[in-house]
């Protein structure tokens, strides 16, 4: 079931952090931990600084990344690097809670296998992430699962991407099945360029884009749209 909030980005960030805190508290109380998939891009830039200010027990929260670029962790394009600056360092997240993808490895298939093993060891086999936060591209892609891409139907938790239609072309991504199986999927989209993709996904006129497939398959979802993305 899709819950949709359309408002200013600052309000959306607060809605996300409230959902995060409530679900973290419940999961930690039930089984002692909370497993999260983090994005990069504009969603990370807007939401992670607000999340860093929350009072949560980071020792019991496992942070995974839904995708990563094939770059070193200190590279400007690194999704881990964004999180390190905006969340991990400010919130003093302990090292054992951080499980990044090693996009800098020369062998991208090896990096995908390593990331898949990490996901399964932390979230189970098959993986069950508690909360996945994803952004959306104008073409409806989520994480680095692009229309027609390998991440749509692959069975491994994480796969290598060699031909992403936006730079950098080499990436790692969680597959659509892992994202859809999360306890809750939080989809965030900002800007008028995302309006068509989100409208098609929510009114189900679009059956094929990654975001449409994700929302159709997810058992629980929260959709956060700014006023431009939420037009019409």
Q: Is residue 85 part of a domain?
A: yes
The pTM of this model reads: 0.96
Q: Is residue 230 part of a domain?
A: no
Selection from 117, 134, 124, 115 nearest residue 185 by Cα: 134
Token duo for residue 157: 């938790």
Q: Is residue 231 part of a domain?
A: no
Q: Is residue 129 part of a domain?
A: yes
pLDDT by 10-residue block (mean), the chain, 232 residues = 91 97 97 97 97 95 98 97 98 98 97 98 97 98 96 92 96 97 98 97 94 96 97 81
| Chain centroid, CA 88 distance in Å | 16
Task: Provide the pLDDT for residue 2.
Answer: 82
Domain count, the chain: 1
Q: Is residue 128 part of a domain?
A: yes
* Residue 126 belongs to domain spanning: 2-225
Q: Is residue 14 part of a domain?
A: yes
Q: Is residue 112 part of a domain?
A: yes
Q: Residue 10's domain is classified under what CATH number?
A: 3.40.50.1360
Task: Provide the pLDDT for residue 1.
Answer: 65
């Amino acid at each position: 079931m899709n819950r949709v909030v359309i408002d200013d980005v600052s309000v959306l960030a607060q809605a996300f952090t409230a959902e995060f805190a409530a679900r973290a508290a419940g999961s930690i109380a039930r089984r002692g931990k909370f497993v999260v998939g983090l994005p990069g891009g504009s969603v990370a830039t807007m939401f992670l600084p607000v999340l860093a200010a929350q009072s949560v027990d980071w020792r019991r929260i496992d942070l995974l990344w839904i995708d990563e670029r094939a770059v070193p962790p200190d590279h400007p394009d690194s999704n881990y690097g964004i999180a390190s600056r905006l969340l991990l360092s400010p919130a003093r997240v302990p090292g054992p809670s951080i499980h990044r993808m090693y996009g800098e490895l020369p062998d991208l298939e090896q990096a995908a296998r390593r990331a898949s093993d990490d996901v399964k060891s932390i979230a189970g086999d098959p993986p069950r992430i508690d909360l996945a936060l994803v952004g959306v591209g104008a073409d409806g892609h989520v994480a680095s699962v692009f229309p027609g891409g390998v991440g749509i139907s692959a069975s491994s938790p994480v796969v290598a991407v060699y031909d992403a239609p936006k730079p950098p072309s080499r990436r790692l991504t969680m597959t659509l099945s892992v994202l859809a199986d999360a306890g809750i999927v939080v989809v965030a989209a900002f800007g008028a360029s995302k309006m068509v993709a989100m409208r098609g996904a929510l009114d189900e006129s679009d059956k094929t884009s990654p975001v449409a497939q994700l929302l159709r398959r997810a058992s629980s979802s929260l959709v956060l749209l700014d006023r431009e993305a939420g037009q019409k």
